[in-house]
Amino acid sequence: MSDYSHLRERYLRDGLPIRLGGIAANLARITSFSDDELHCDLVESLLDESKFFIEWTAAEADIDTAAELVELQVQLARWQHGLDRLWMSVAERRAMAKQARAWSERVLEMSGLLA
């Protein structure tokens, strides 16, 4: 999707907890899709979308949450930048999936949706 304006408009209708839940869900999808070498394009799309979600969310979050989201956004950019190389290694894909799962759990915790 090259035009994110419609997605942004829709995404911003939700409150902060739901938006954080959306980021957590994307990270969980990255974890799941990393099991199959044929899903590289899907993962790349989720990485891109998640970076946008963070950009649109961090500005409205408290400073500590925003700082963690920016840290996550940097990690997503690192993965995306080296995705072609990373994807060729099963071990590196598994490591990325493990980190994505940990981030998913952390962001879901930050959302307060589990409380």
Q: How far apart are CA 112 and CA 46, in angstroms?
A: 23
Residues 6+ apart with CB under 8 A from 61: 16, 20, 69
| Average pLDDT score, the chain | 95
Whether the per-residue pLDDT at 3 is higher than 80: the answer is: no
Whether the per-residue pLDDT at 2 is higher than 80: the answer is: no
Residues 34-67 pLDDT 10s: 999 999 999 999 999 999 999 999 999 999 999 9
Residues 13-28 pLDDT 10s: 999 999 999 999 999 9
Between 91 and 3, the higher pLDDT residue = 91
Cα→Cα distances 74→37, 38, 52, Å: 23, 25, 12
pLDDT (0 to 100) of residue 1: 46
Please answer whether residues 80 and 44 qualify as being in contact, where contact means their C-beta atoms are separated by less than 8 angstroms.
yes
Quote the distance between the C-alpha of residue 69 and its chain's center. 9
Cβ atoms < 10 Å from Cβ of 78: 13
The band of 33, judged by pLDDT with boundaries at 50, 70 and 90, is very high
pLDDT (0 to 100) of residue 62: 95
Averaged over 76-86, what is the pLDDT? 96
The percent of residues in the chain predicted with pLDDT above 90, rounded, is 95
